[in-house]
Structure 1
């Protein structure tokens, strides 16, 4: 079987975002595995408008070429890891809009998350799981949370240290998340191939 191709999606587009640091750390550590392939996908590279289609692409093709480009990119992957901040107890507006811009491309694929912020984006990731269910994805139980003292050790809001300073705290959660992601990616790939 082909190795699952996994997108690491940076879910913030703010000029002052922190996401680049944990996303780079995540990619570097994920690429040490031999059972999956990983690609960084940055929402900044997709000039997505606010969702304004007549309906989801489940019901009719999207008209905006920017949305179609996004959908075509998503279709390349067998699973996703979302790197998300927490805005007002939820995911970022840019990530919610990106999720809404596709439907079929998300279906029957696993969704993992790395969250960061004061509480490790725990509430945002919980919200993301509910959205993933509606998009017919498989939201994973395990996640990576960079919160509390760890967040302030590596964030520009605190000491702005290197991710290596907190890596020991994060690796058990990352390994559990990637193991679960590999299992579900292989399972859903097999079933999608069977029912294609």
Structure 2
């Protein structure tokens, strides 16, 4: 499958980016093609017009639109900021709409605290539904992210197990949606 992993923080000391990289690495190990959308690198200006109404969209916006539209699903990784997901993530995702139609969404929330970003996860699930996405019901919560990695390597075996189970469920959802779409085309 062609998948998009969205790294949803633009902060300089972001720790959620390690989680996004780990998600992408594990999906690639399973044989999937992964396109990383990093909101910090994209650095889209504050939204004035959506992509389809932007008079002269940048090549980066065109590439982002195409990557999402051509994907078989998205995994969004976001830190929790003030009880929700990051503003940089919302600004980036709001540029697009039709690209998300009937795509499976997996939600990974990250926090330095004990609750693992549960408020960000719930907000992102609602947001993905608003985009006409099909959301995996179980989000992956990532508490105490600062304790999970050492030198860029995931060292927490319990979290690695939860991540693998989450990805297994997400891939199942994506394959089920693909099978339904193929079946609809054939009939």
Q: TM-score range by the shorter chain?
A: 0.7 to 0.9
2:142 equivalent among 136, 141, 146: 146
Alpha-carbon contact 2:154-2:160 (below 8 Å) kept? no
Residue number in structure 2 paired with 1:103: 97
Worse overlay, 176-185 or 5-14:
176-185
Q: Say if 1:153 and 1:51 are closer, same or farther in 2 by CA, change over 3 A.
A: same
Residue number in structure 2 paired with 1:44: 40
- Count of residues in Structure 1 that have an aligned counterpart in Structure 2: 180
- Distance in 2, matches of 1:63 and 1:182, equals 36
Alpha-carbon contact 2:9-2:17 (below 8 Å) kept? no
Unaligned runs of 5+ in 1: none
Q: Could you say what secondary structure the match of 1:115 adopts?
A: strand
Which structure has more helix as a fraction of its residues?
A: 2
Q: Could you say what secondary structure the match of 1:31 adopts?
A: helix
- Distance in 1, matches of 2:163 and 2:121, equals 15
Residue number in structure 1 paired with 2:6: 9
Normalising by structure 1, we get a TM-score of 0.80
Deviations 1:118-138 (A, max 9, x none): 121111011000000110001
Correspondence 1:26 to 2:23: yes
Deviations 1:89-136 (A, max 9, x none): 101001111121100001100111222111211110110000001100
Residue number in structure 2 paired with 1:186: 175
Correspondence 1:77 to 2:74: no
Alpha-carbon contact 1:142-1:173 (below 8 Å) kept? no
Normalising by structure 2, we get a TM-score of 0.83
Q: Say if 1:177 and 1:68 are closer, same or farther in 2 by CA, change over 3 A.
A: same
Q: Say if 1:99 and 1:162 are closer, same or farther in 2 by CA, change over 3 A.
A: closer
Unaligned runs of 5+ in 2: none
2:125 equivalent among 122, 129, 154: 129
Q: CA RMSD in A?
A: 2.3
